[in-house]
């Protein structure tokens, strides 16, 4: 995957997360909504920051932060599903997108490290 595909996919995912947060707040669920809102949008923000990193180490560090945020977002999605705040269908779609982003990030980090 190219870097621009990763940026596009993470932006689309952030939009989906913001829409999910809106739904959760309508259901009066704010604790997890705030958590997933922060982690789910942070993925793309860190990918965007990596674009103007101060060298290779900074670039890798930003992508690693994005990967950690994606992993955290996956946790919140699973928790929302297990507590019936989101449907099976919505969970599978969002989790699939989140997993795809993690795979792309891992690949990008490995490439940047020269692995």
- Cα Rg of the chain, angstroms: 14
Give me the mean pLDDT over the 87-101 stretch.
Answer: 98
Give me the mean pLDDT over the 25-35 stretch.
Answer: 95
Number of domains in the chain: 1
Can you give the pLDDT at residue 3?
59
> What is the residue range of 90's domain?
3-113
User: Is it the case that residue 7 has pLDDT exceeding 80?
Assistant: yes
Give me the mean pLDDT over the 83-95 stretch.
Answer: 97
41-57 pLDDT tens trace: 999 999 999 999 999 99
Can you give the pLDDT at residue 1?
42
Can you give the pLDDT at residue 4?
87
Q: Please indicate, yes or no, whether the overall pTM of this predicted structure exceeds 0.85.
A: yes
Can you give the pLDDT at residue 89?
98
What is the C-alpha separation between 21 and 38, in angstroms, rounded?
10
**Each residue of 15-43: b (16+ CB within 10 Å) or e?**
ebbeebbeebeeeeeeebbebbbebbbbb
Give me the mean pLDDT over the 21-30 stretch.
Answer: 95
Q: What CATH number should be reported for the domain holding residue 101? A: 1.20.1440.60
Spacing of C-alpha 89 from chain mean position? 18
Give me the mean pLDDT over the 66-91 stretch.
Answer: 97
């Amino acid at each position: 995957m190219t870097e621009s595909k990763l940026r596009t996919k993470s932006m689309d995912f952030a939009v989906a997360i913001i829409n999910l947060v809106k739904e959760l707040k309508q259901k009066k669920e704010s604790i997890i909504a705030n958590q997933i809102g922060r982690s789910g949008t942070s993925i793309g923000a860190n990918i965007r920051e990596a674009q103007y990193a101060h060298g290779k180490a900074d670039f890798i560090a930003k992508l690693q932060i994005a990967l950690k945020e994606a992993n955290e977002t996956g946790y919140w999605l699973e928790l929302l599903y297990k507590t019936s705040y989101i449907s099976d269908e919505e969970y599978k779609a969002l989790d699939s997108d989140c997993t795809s982003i993690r795979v792309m990030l891992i690949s990008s980090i490995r490439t940047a490290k020269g692995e």
